Amino acid sequence: MSTTLDLASLVARDVQIESVTLVGVRMDATGEYDEQLLLSNRYRCRHRLHSAEPDRLRVYVDLHFDASPDGTPSEESKSQVDLSATFLATYALKDAAKYSAEAFKHFADLNGTFNVWPYWRELVQSMTGRAGLGGITVPVFRPGVEEVSVENESPVGE
């Protein structure tokens, strides 16, 4: 049995981050805020390997921040701040063919998110400050580590 961290670390040994780029951002804010807001933060990742550039791994991290009034969510209690962004982390990669799709998935989820998280924290703080909330600080990224089964996984290139 392996963990998500074990699989991510296989790829991490052979990459070097080249850039983190903001490729999309959207924000809606009401400008009028309740005294208490529930804050939520979520993300999802995806990765791409291009046959034309086998030495590059691209990880896209879609992030979303929401500030809603405290209480039970309902139609009357809509988001007062809704911020989403997509960051692209580009890595130089050695020998992509030796890694499984599962290893790339867990690398994207753990390392990709970890690498873009400081940029996300700065964006949320800056944008919420500009929206009149005084700047909200997103907590540090703490990835979960789980056991995974990799019995029938083969390298990407096979």
Instruction: Return the number of other C-beta atoms located less than 10 Å from residue 139's C-beta.
Output: 9
Give the HSE-up count for residue 153: Cα atoms under 13 Å, Cβ half-sphere.
18
pTM recorded for the entire structure: 0.84
Q: How far is CA 52 from CA 38, 56, 75, 88, 102, in A?
A: 45, 9, 48, 18, 21
Rounded to 5°, angle at Cα 51 from 50 and 52: 90
Beta-ladder partners of 76:
none
Tell me the per-residue pLDDT of 113-143, one tens digit each, with 9 for 90 and over: 999 999 999 999 999 999 998 878 898 888 7
Predicted pLDDT of residue 73: 44
Tokens of 64: 């979303």
Give the torsion sign (CA, 149, 59, 66, 75).
negative
Tokens of 91: 């890595």
Return the CATH number of the domain spanning residue range 2-134. 3.10.420.10
Q: What is the pLDDT of residues 64-96, one digit of tens each?
A: 999 988 633 445 557 889 999 999 999 999 887
The residue extents of the domains of the chain are 2-134
